[in-house]
Amino acid sequence: MRWREMLDTVVQALRHGLRRLAKKPRFTVVTMLILALGIGATSTLFTVVHSVLLSPLPFEEPEELVFAWETRQDGSAISPVSPLNFTEWRAAGAGFLNMAAVRQWPHNVTGGDVPERVTGAQVSSGLLSLFGVVPFVGREFTPEEEHPGADRVCLVSHGFWLRRLGGSRDLTSLRLVLNGESHAVVGVLPDGFTIPGFGPRPILTPLPLDTDDPGFWSNHNAQVFGRLEDDVPLERAGRELGAIAARLQTTYPDWNDGIEARVVSARDQIVQGSRQAIWILFGSVAFVLLIACANIASLFLARCAEAEREMAVRTALGAHRSRIIRLVLSEAVILGAAGGLLGLWLCLFGVDAIRRWAPSGMPRVAEVSVSLPVLVFVLAASVGTGLLFGLLPALRASKVNVQHMLKEGGRALGTGGMHRIQRALVVSEVAVTDALPEVFIDQRQDMDVAREFYVVAHTRLPAATLTEPMREAVRDVDPDQPVAWVQTLNSTYSAMVAQPRFTALLVAAFGFSGDFSTARGARSERRAFDGRAAVDLGCSESTSKASIFNA
């Protein structure tokens, strides 16, 4: 019975709140729009936080997935892995159930109606099973297909299969001509499958592990993934892999001198470049919502001042203080709920905009979506903001001086007390607003990719030093072989070092994803990269400029 009485009281308060709000349509509409913008922006950023930082990776037992990197002895930089080291690491086990390697690889697709060039990847056997993924049609690569002399085979993405191969489930007759060589299509990847750090790839071919190939020993350009054994912590796997790397330094001193190993959890690796930025953006938008609540609280105080005589009459007729508080809070909660519904509608548009126009370095963009936790957050934000901006006006309205109000017919609340509260709200708004630019400036300084992903060298050279053979060397390097690429540029760079009078900038960037900045005089450039090396060799206007960039 008591619960029924409480429910009736709440319903009655909400009805009365709706009637009071209907009498002030302009106030109601303005307040709802302010709340909708604040809740919508905050909910959009929370959707990003939940999808990118809090949700598990979309793979089987994602907490066991790791990235394995090479490092130098000082441990200051991480870099991709050579096929030699990957083969040794996988054979040794070192606390891993399985390991797989991936490197980016371009393909010229011919033999059909329209030739095209696609950016695919070379992958080792076991990649799909490592991620707990089953091909939509067919099978994945076998270990035998990694070695010289094996049949040439490939996997295709679900979209490429539908677009280029007609969606035929009979793979026995399907073949693709890749870079001039015929490959049998042995499998179709599941719809939406992406390789962490590489994104969706239309064509996968086996990673060749040929010891007769010089690149097997010298090219450090493969990303290695691993799945930990049950009950093997990350630290232990890192120590065991480090011991194997130390042994390989002795076994292959010409190729592994000073090379160690590091293991990083997949979640940390994927979001490490964006975690701080996303949290700070979310916190900043939440502060904006607080500013909106302070503005609305000021409006509510003014509204309560107008209705002070009504509150005095209600109190004189026997209304308890709690009833006055419920009356004001009911209006605030109704406005909060209405603003939350509009905010959710705006959130849907915001999420769609993020998925369309997010920076290329932002991880897990395709997974950003409105889910049940987001709906719970919108509900909590709606009710919470209503209580936040309505509580102070409700408390002030419940303290009306009945005798003074009825005797004088004036507004006690509209004088000193309310003015002091409004001034305090204005001061807090200005303080928060003034602090936000500092937060963004500090964050902007940290937005660049981690220092271990790039090196910068400054030289001085005359314009004539950048000879035509040097330009051709830069133009002819293969961006899909980043180690060979940088070695070629280094040889070009070495020819420039001794020259005096001119400045050039060489930036070689490696890594999983992110961006890098170059400065040329007073002008700064910022470019993004994703899983590929990025090089910009820039000279002044009096010097020829050679520039290569692949994103």
CA distance 550 to 480: 9
Per-residue pLDDT tens over the stretch 496-505: 444 443 333 3
Per-residue pLDDT tens over the stretch 154-165: 999 999 999 988
Angle between helices 321-357 and 275-306 (to 10 degrees): 150
Of 143 and 300, the one with more pLDDT = 143
| 302 and 435 belong to one structural domain | yes
- Tell me the three state secondary structure of residue 411: coil
Is the residue at 460 inside a domain?
yes
Is the residue at 257 inside a domain?
no
CA distance 84 to 218: 8
For the chain, how many residues are written?
Answer: 551
Query: Given pLDDT bands bounded at 50, 70 and 90, which one contains residue 539?
Result: very low
| 277 and 360 belong to one structural domain | yes
Of 137 and 528, the one with more pLDDT = 137
User: Is pLDDT above 80 for 493?
Assistant: no
Is the residue at 30 inside a domain?
yes
Confidence at residue 18, expressed as pLDDT on a 0 to 100 scale: 84
| 347 and 284 belong to one structural domain | yes
Of 374 and 394, the one with more pLDDT = 374
Query: Given pLDDT bands bounded at 50, 70 and 90, which one contains residue 317?
Result: low
CA distance 516 to 529: 8
- Tell me the three state secondary structure of residue 239: helix
Q: Hey, what are 117's tokens?
A: 């060039």
User: Is pLDDT above 90 for 286?
Assistant: no
| 100 and 226 belong to one structural domain | yes
| 425 and 468 belong to one structural domain | no
| 396 and 277 belong to one structural domain | yes
Structural domain tally of the chain?
A: 3
Per-residue pLDDT tens over the stretch 75-123: 667 889 999 999 999 998 878 999 999 999 999 998 767 889 999 999 9
Boundary residue ending a domain (428, 445, 462):
445
Through-space distance between the first and last CA atoms of the chain, rounded to whole angstroms: 67
Is the residue at 237 inside a domain?
no
User: Is pLDDT above 50 for 151?
Assistant: yes
CA distance 36 to 350: 12
Other beta carbons less than 10 A from residue 303's beta carbon? 18
In SS3 terms, 58-110 reads as CCCCHHHEEEEEEEECCCCCEECECHHHHHHHHHHCCCEEEEEEEEEEEEEEE
Is the residue at 120 inside a domain?
yes
Q: Hey, what are 112's tokens?
A: 């059909």
Kindly calculate the radius of gyration of the chain based on its CA atoms and give it in whole angstroms: 32
Is the residue at 132 inside a domain?
yes
Boundary residue ending a domain (230, 261, 283):
230
CA distance 340 to 37: 9
| 525 and 483 belong to one structural domain | yes
| 328 and 477 belong to one structural domain | no
CA distance 514 to 359: 9
Looking at 117-256, list the stretches that DSSP marks H as alpha helix, in order from N- to C-terminal side: 127-130, 158-165, 214-218, 234-251, 253-256
Boundary residue ending a domain (199, 230, 261):
230
Classify each residue of 510-524 as buried b or exposed e, where b means 16 or more C-beta atoms within 10 Å of its C-beta.
bbbbbbbebeeeeee
| 375 and 422 belong to one structural domain | yes
| 50 and 116 belong to one structural domain | no
**CB-based contacts of 133, cutoff 8 Å, min separation 6:** 59, 60, 189, 190, 193
Contact present, 545 and 538 (Cβ < 8 Å): yes
Q: Hey, what are 403's tokens?
A: 């005798």
Determine the structural domain holding residue 10 and report its residue range: 2-57+273-445
User: Is pLDDT above 80 for 401?
Assistant: no
Of 248 and 295, the one with more pLDDT = 248
**CB-based contacts of 359, cutoff 8 Å, min separation 6:** 515, 528
Is the residue at 463 inside a domain?
yes
Query: Given pLDDT bands bounded at 50, 70 and 90, which one contains residue 461?
Result: very low
In SS3 terms, 426-489 reads as HHHHHHHHHHHHHHHHHHHHCCCCCHHHEEEEEEECCHHHCCHHHHHHHHHCCCCCHHHHHHHH
| 527 and 471 belong to one structural domain | yes
Question: What is the average pLDDT across 398-411?
Answer: 55
Nearest to 154, CA basis, from 81, 163, 84, 165: 165
Is the residue at 268 inside a domain?
no
Q: Look up tokens 């790791």; give the residue.
A: 66
Query: Given pLDDT bands bounded at 50, 70 and 90, which one contains residue 533?
Result: very low
